[in-house]
Amino acid sequence: MASVATSRPVIVLASGSPRRRELLARLGLPHRVAPPRVDESVAPGEDPADAARRLAQLKARNASGAWVVAADTVVAVDGRVLGKPRDPAENRRFLELLSGRDHWVHTGLALRAPTGETALVSSTRVRFRDLADWEIEAYAASGEGLDKAGGYGIQEKGMVLVEAVEGDFFTVMGLPVARLWQALARLGYPLTEVWDA
């Protein structure tokens, strides 16, 4: 990563996700990780997209810093929210449910800056191919999906489960980077210096 210019504010990433941290680093945005402790539960009957936006806002409001970026990803199939699986057995059930079907990945994004704040949600449709029983068993046993909403990681071994993506790939990874970039620009973050570095 390029050296950090002193005039670029450090962004507080209000998330412990290594995927989000990696994406900010790829963009050359100076940041530090400080995930707040908040209740990430989706309320019964809450719309999954609304929940993703609300949870991102909750994280942003509970983090300290002049520039704060927060995100939350909610995976839903037929309106049913699939959070992070508690164990490999639940991960297997998630994969069985997703096999051969479409589902939605909603990533809420919230920014807080000295000039104001904004929140949005980006939604992407993902289709899994028909999975063989042994693939479901092997992937669940790998443990890769245990820290991820929906129980899979599209940027890791879980990429082989996915047949099609309709929308923004980075939303599925957990951070809609193009929309983040646009929001930072609207709020006055010095983005030209990122490309000048």
Q: How far is CA 86 from CA 43, 128, 150, in A?
A: 18, 21, 11
Half-sphere exposure of 190 (CA within 13 A, CB side): 12
What residues are labeled active site?
72
Burial of 113 (0-12, 13-18, 19+ CB in 10 A): buried
What gap in Å lies between CA 158 and CA 166, rounded to an integer? 17
- Decide: helix, strand or coil at residue 29: coil
CA 72 to chain centre: 5
User: What CA–CA distances, in Å, run from 45 to 24, 51, 79, 80, 149?
Assistant: 33, 10, 9, 9, 18
Give 80's strand partners: 77
